[in-house]
Amino acid sequence: MLDVKIEGGTVVDGTGAPRYRADVGIRDGRIAAIGQVSEPTRTTLDARGRVVCPGFVDLHTHYDAQAFWDPALTPSSLHGVTTVFGGNCGFSLAPLVPSEGDYLMRMLARVEGMPLASLASGVPWDWTSFDEYLARLDGGLALNAGFLVGHSALRRVAMGERANRETASEADVARMVELLRASLAAGGMGFSSSSSPTHSDGDGGPVPSRHASRDEILALCAEVRHHPGTTLEFIPTAGPFEEAHKELMVEMSLAARRTLNWNMLVVTAMAPDLFEQQLETSDRAAKRGARVVALTLPNVLRMRINFTSGFVFDSLPGWGAVLAGTHDEKKRALADPAVRERLRGGYASPEAGVFAFLLTPDLLRIVETFTAAGKAVEGRTVGEVAAERGRDPFDVLFDLAVEEDLRTQFTPMVPGDDDESWRIRGEMWRDPRVLIGASDAGAHLDMIDTFNLPTQLLGPCVRERRLIGLEDAIHGITDRPARLYGVRERGRLAVGWHADVVVFDPDRIAPGPLHTRADLPGGASRLFGEAIGIDHVLVNGAEIVRGGELTGARPGTILRSGRDTETVPIPADGG
């Protein structure tokens, strides 16, 4: 007898093959039959008029902490994601020693926009090894989840406070390699790191991985090659690549003999030279027997920024030190004319680079306010308000922040919402050097809604804009990411494979409206959005979402490298 029969749906199996009408039978957590299924079943799901496809695979999340207070890993699960990977950007929660828990908490609060109160009250912080961390989550999640081993955690455990100011000694590197070896042997999915100037810790300084030398990074990558089913993830910088960024990524892939994926390729018709220059890294890697793949989004990265966290603002020269202060210290500083003048100088300096364009005060839109005076200017740009008042845009920006207790939400003007940019994105999604991903789900909780990546792709991009076919789109967020990480028997609908399945209405699927939800530990809030048109989500044969609502089931598996993944060889042409 079958446990579940999904009856009468249109199967898109994840491989890119044409769709076809069939039933799908599930038994003991695996797909038992695809076709005309007549075997008796305990539960039948009516899928007439619906698409039946593999569960979506999200390679770039930061659910490492949220997994402790939200086992369903929302909103991703509501959008059809059945497998996630955390520990990205060098930010894992293990290994750990008691002296470093506070540092990692404050670092995550700053660099990944997770409320400090939630991290302090919602995470136990009582493990030391990677194995113990995975064991704490095993058997308790609704989704399948794997976790990379983060460079910043390795560095802090090996070097303590020296990790944030010193080049590692040979003994330090040896200790990091030893910690990485144990973590990968325990099931860590690979090694992640970052050298991005946007990644600052709770004190406003560079995160530990940004202090690493090339030799240190390559020594850690070389350890990865000895562990089956592992991979590499890296954040090189923000904006154009320098020669050193390209060369380092190629050398990392060669040292590990693994594919390296990096985040995030921004595609816009306004700057074609930028993403073409970045993708040249993949071509260079292929010529040398390495493989480098870019992750990109199926939407324009609209974000909300504020002075409470200061994230993105702190990328401007001199702004990070001010925004690393306490809440009251920041308010006092932003009200001080002398500090304002220094911040203007940082914005105008050549080192501001792309962030000066992104954060042009005149173009920042005031999207959410919290006082009566603020409501009067909500929806307008800072430049419009400044012109009306005859004031400098910086003063208007800082005045609003101070008057509203730093809560005012601003949206930068991000290019790329034009027909030509969308056309180019559609081409990029079929490029072997590019993978749809980069959701960052679980991070920047008050800033972004890219957790809706699957519904954004299948609704606005596939149905409305027709940028890519349905089969290719589903292939891009199921089988392709699963194969990149060598995940065994997931990412396709095939007999004998794990029954991670989504049933959705192709005529309705879309992201739901964005709203603020106060449901985090410590009373904190986050941006949230449900999905439209997703009827059922099954993980390992058990239904975790029904009619857009969670069922409470927790059938997910903690994925361990080597057991649940296999080593992915780099093709001869690097493609």
pTM of the model: 0.92
The 10s digit of each residue's pLDDT in 428-470 is 999 999 999 999 999 999 899 999 999 999 999 999 999 999 9
pLDDT exceeds 90 at position 35: yes
Sign, CA torsion 41/46/50/54 = negative
- Nearest residue to 556 (alpha-carbon basis) of 71, 50, 180: 71
Q: Which range, of 196-200, 210-214, 300-304, 523-527, averages the lowest pLDDT?
A: 300-304
Q: What is the mean pLDDT of residues 93-106?
A: 97
SS3 content of the chain, % helix, strand, coil (to 5): 40, 20, 40
Q: What is the mean pLDDT of residues 10-20?
A: 98
Q: How deeply is 63 buried, as exposed, middle or buried, from its count of CB atoms within 10 A (0-12, 13-18, 19+)? A: buried
Task: Name the pLDDT band for 573 (thresholds 50, 70, 90).
Answer: low
Residue 125 sits at φ, ψ, to 5 deg, of 55, 40
The 10s digit of each residue's pLDDT in 336-379 is 999 999 999 999 999 998 789 889 999 999 998 999 999 999 99
Which string of b and e fits 543-560 if b means at least 16 CB within 10 Å?
A: bbbbeeebbebebbbbbb
Instruction: Report the pLDDT value the prediction gives residue 194, as an integer from 0 to 100.
Output: 98
Q: What is the mean pLDDT of residues 216-226?
A: 98
The 10s digit of each residue's pLDDT in 378-434 is 999 999 999 999 999 999 999 999 999 999 999 998 789 999 999 999 999 999 999
Cis, bond preceding 75 (omega within 30 deg of 0): yes
Kindly list the domain boundaries of the chain, sorted by start residue. 57-303+415-484, 313-411
Distance from C-alpha of 574 to C-alpha of 559, rounded to nearest angstrom: 26
Q: What is the mean pLDDT of residues 132-137?
A: 98
Check residues 314 and 8 and name the one with the higher pLDDT: 8
Q: Are 73 and 66 in contact (CB under 8 A)?
A: yes
522: how many CB neighbours lie within 10 A of its CB? 13
Alpha helices in 259-353 (DSSP H): 272-287, 319-323, 327-335, 337-348
Q: What is the mean pLDDT of residues 127-131?
A: 98
Q: Which range, of 50-54, 292-296, 305-309, 384-388, averages the lowest pLDDT?
A: 305-309
Regarding beta strands 510-511 and 531-532, do their DSSP bridges make them parallel or antiparallel, or are they unpaired?
antiparallel
Query: What would the two tokens of residue 503 be?
Result: 């049933």
- Nearest residue to 109 (alpha-carbon basis) of 189, 209, 200: 200
Q: Are 28 and 477 in contact (CB under 8 A)?
A: no
Q: Which residues contact 151 (CB under 8 A, 6 or more apart)?
A: 90, 191, 192, 193, 194, 208, 209, 212, 217, 220
Q: What is the mean pLDDT of residues 221-236?
A: 98
H/E stretch holding 7 reads strand 2-11
Residue type, 369: T
Distance from C-alpha of 79 to C-alpha of 97, rounded to nearest angstrom: 35
H/E stretch holding 295 reads strand 292-296
CATH class for the domain made up of 57-303+415-484: alpha beta
How far out from the chain centre does Cα 147 lie?
Answer: 12
The 10s digit of each residue's pLDDT in 55-87 is 999 999 999 999 999 999 999 999 999 999 999
Residue type, 391: R
- Nearest residue to 277 (alpha-carbon basis) of 253, 241, 243, 316: 241
- Residue 97 DSSP one-character state: -
Regarding beta strands 365-368 and 549-550, do their DSSP bridges make them parallel or antiparallel, or are they unpaired?
unpaired
Query: What would the two tokens of residue 1 be?
Result: 């007898």
pLDDT exceeds 70 at position 277: yes
Instruction: Report the pLDDT value the prediction gives residue 369, as an integer from 0 to 100.
Output: 93
Cα angle vertex 209, ends 208, 210, to 5°?
Answer: 90
Query: What would the two tokens of residue 456 be?
Result: 């954004």
Q: What is the mean pLDDT of residues 49-56?
A: 99
pLDDT exceeds 90 at position 245: yes
Instruction: Report the pLDDT value the prediction gives residue 204, as an integer from 0 to 100.
Output: 83
Q: Under DSSP, is residue 185 helix (H, G, I), strand (E, B) or coil?
A: helix
